[in-house]
Structure 1
Amino acid sequence: MGKNRLGEFEHRVLLAILRLGGEAYSVPLVLELEERTGREVSQSSVFIVLQRLEKKGLLSSRIDETTKPRTGRVRRYFQLTPAAMQQLRESRNDLMALWEGIDATLDEV
């Protein structure tokens, strides 16, 4: 993997977006992360990570103004870029290589 490795929370956010179909805004992301991790997640922490991942080129975003008349706010949807997909593949492969052969060791403990 390159020198721009993903932090744990960045990794989780990218995986949550992937689970949500490759595009999502912050509210469903928070709910997905809370459901999958069993931990409380703040919307502000998710948004900060979304902005950081976009700066790294791992996400792109678009504004949806169709919600403004109903909610008074626009939604910003984030999409995974090909670079994000590559990082996730590399990360998965790295972790699988590290886990290889130690399942039995964990069972013994």
Structure 2
Amino acid sequence: MKGTYLGEFQEIVLLTILVLDENAYGVSIQEEIEKRTRREVSRGALHTALTRLDEKGFINSEFGGATAERGGRRKRFYQVTNLGKSSLNEAKAVRDDLWNSVPKIALQKIQG
């Protein structure tokens, strides 16, 4: 499982790429994560996660066309691979199993 293990942030990045679909590029991924988690995300942390996900074969990317608003620079768009989707499904299954195994009383607030 070592090579396919997903950390929490990597899982969030993969899910965000799926949510954004064809509009998944660096800034849009960063903004969506910040909006949904209400946590600040540094570009460095996101870049590191994207690099590691690419190395694992969980994502691939391609450049879009250059735009004047970006000074002629192109955006790199990301997609989740089938391997990435499989890894997400495995992570979800483990979490679901654990959540379903927690006794309901364990999650109740203590009155006092």
Global fold match (TM > 0.5): yes
Q: Find the aligned partners of 1:103 and 1:43 in 2 and give their Cα distance.
A: 39
Alignment of 1:1-109 (within 5 A): 2-3=1-2, 4-21=4-21, 24-67=24-67, 69-72=68-71, 73-102=73-102, 104=104, 105-109=106-110
Stretches of structure 1 lacking an aligned partner (at least 5 in a row): none
Q: Find the aligned partners of 1:66 and 1:74 in 2 and give their Cα distance.
A: 4
Q: Find the aligned partners of 1:23 and 1:95 in 2 and give their Cα distance.
A: 28
The 10-residue stretch of structure 1 (39-48 or 19-28) with the greater mean CA deviation from structure 2: 19-28
1:43 CA displacement: 1.7
Stretches of structure 2 lacking an aligned partner (at least 5 in a row): none
1:44 CA displacement: 2.1
Contact residue 25 and residue 75 of structure 1 kept, 8 A:
yes
Contact residue 22 and residue 77 of structure 2 kept, 8 A:
no
* Residues 7-36 of structure 1 deviation map (CA, whole Å, 9 limit, x = unaligned): 111111001111112661010111111111
Structure 1 residues 74 and 91, CA gap change in structure 2 (3 angstroms): same
1:103 CA displacement: 5.9
Contact residue 23 and residue 80 of structure 1 kept, 8 A:
no
1:71 CA displacement: 1.3
TM-score by structure 2 length? 0.86
Percent identity over the alignment is 36
Q: Find the aligned partners of 2:101 and 2:49 in 1 and give their Cα distance.
A: 33
Contact residue 22 and residue 80 of structure 1 kept, 8 A:
no
